[in-house]
Structure 1
Amino acid sequence: MGNEEKQGSKVVELEVEEKLEGQRLDTVLAQSIPELTRSQVQRLISEGQVMVDGQPQSKSYRVREKEIIRLTIPPPKAYSLQAEELPIKIVYEDEEVVVVSKEAGMVVHPSFGHTSGTLVNALLFWIRDLAGIGGVSRPGIIHRLDKNTSGLILVAKNDLAYQALARQLKGRSIKRKYLALVKGVIQEKAGVIKTLIARSTRNRKKMAVSFDKGKEAVTHFRVLERFKNCTLVEVALETGRTHQIRVHFSHIKHPVLGDKIYGGADKLSQEIGLERQFLHACELSFFHPGREEMITVTDQLPPELEEVLAQVRKQERVPFA
């Protein structure tokens, strides 16, 4: 599959492999291009942005081996970010960086159809001159958290700090730890989960462990407390793939409690009053770009998770072997 940029548009060209013979055109494209949903692919087909061997085809067209599919993704329509006076918790701040604690339910950055009420909107209000640092839609943001994950996020306040911290993230020298309450009793005291993670072929909004393609994902964990039917773990990310912790613990049959996407509905969450996924980014370590020293910032569990943990601690504990 080849990609090219053309006057702001992205052009994707791929040759149909033997294993894809006979599949629908929209299905093949949705499986091959992770950033597009099937409905988005169908819209592009209807707009004439997809050609098969130089000819337009319908979404239900059955592809043949060695055909060349060429898809053009138009540039996104521009939108402006608005500063909004939203409450945020600043855990650490100096002249170069700020570390904030995001609450569960808040999206990190705007996207089309969701341009307000995000962490970025709040940051633009509270931190002057942030706009434009590191990109228009994600000013200053070094890394992200899922909407329903709470905890620490690192933000750069100038371009030099952004570039230095972005290099650290790429080089895996920024260390991130999480607290998670997972289903079932983990027998090991500690462990490492190492797999490939790719976009799910069944649900394009989900990620999944893959055995033949995808990006390397490495998650370290240490058991803190064991209970009758759940385990409290400290999790350290070596890589930072989308939904990595949630995918990995679901993969080993210990999904994060409250995670409806990767763990499904569970009675235990209802019994202990858990209304969100129990996943919190509790510690962040990075090399300060201005002071040239390691900085470690910590954040306590939010009240709603503290209450759930207190409820769980009333259960019978399972001792270490």
Structure 2
Amino acid sequence: MITDAQNNFILAVPKAELHLHIEGSFEPELLFKIAERNGISLKYKTVGKLRNAYQFNNLQEFLDIYYEGANVLLYEQDFYDLTLAYLEKCREQNVVHAEVFFDPQTHTQRGVSFETVVNGIQKALDKANKEWGITSCLIPNFLRHLSEDEAIKTFKEALQFRELFIGFGLDSSEKGNPPAKFERVFKMVHDEGFLSVAHAGEEGSAQNVWDSLHLLKVARIDHGVRSVDDELLLDELARIQVPLTVCPLSNLKLKVVQQMKELPLRTLLEKNILVTINSDDPAYFGGYVNENYKAITEAFDLTTDELRILAKNSFKASFMGETEKEKWIKRINEIE
């Protein structure tokens, strides 16, 4: 059980979220609302039946239903509503900065224009910044189950909106789609002056983390929990301080771990890895950032000092400017 002191600290501490797929924040109630608005018939006939379908044995089972849900997103208003709903959760949970992933190929392949997607998302981000002070970065991801040529095409199309993006990422099915498959497009990303991140070491091996660092030259590793299988990799991550954006409830829901206590969180912290806590696809995995903090607090009986480290890590690992990072870290240190 979480103590009142632990719970109050989680509620009070400012946090940044660095691993959030906006399509994965699509709550069933909003999904049904937008589907009805757009005249789309859903496979699941009630909110309850859809939510009951959120039982997954692996990443691919989740992705199948994730992409099906995304099919109802057609218009700018849809992407705006989806993004604003997530940002309202941020406001409730004291997430003051969000670095938001989206999958342009999921939508452009359905005939929805890149402009429609990015305009809807960005207008919601702008509203949250203006009205609630929530800052944000936007990161398009390439779908790794598609070809690198398709990723390159998407990257070139994205350049017309380049001022809206801080970097580019790589997500979707890790098995059978190694980092080396995308080496060319990530070189293009860097040549254009963008940062990069990549999913690695979730269902894939520690080697995928190495390859993401060396071949893709990423600034952050998304997930990365399989890094614990390689002591040399742990030493390297500690030395270069490339962050891991760990997603506890996601790892549990997708059976990366069978129980939360198997998550190698303590090992990562003890090895001085810059580990952060995030929600990944919260509508599907049972919780937003605070729920993830609470789940690991209960599993590992984390002290407020350990929670403080994780909250500070979320800003250290972010793509915010140094002055902003220092401001939030100072505020975290002041919380008792």
Tell me if TM exceeds 0.5. no
Structure showing greater radius of gyration is 1
Query: With structure 1 as the length reference, what TM-score do the two structures score?
Result: 0.31
Flag the structure with more relative contact order, 1 or 2, with Cα contacts below 8 A and sequence separation at least 6. Answer: 2
Which structure features the higher share of helix residues? 2
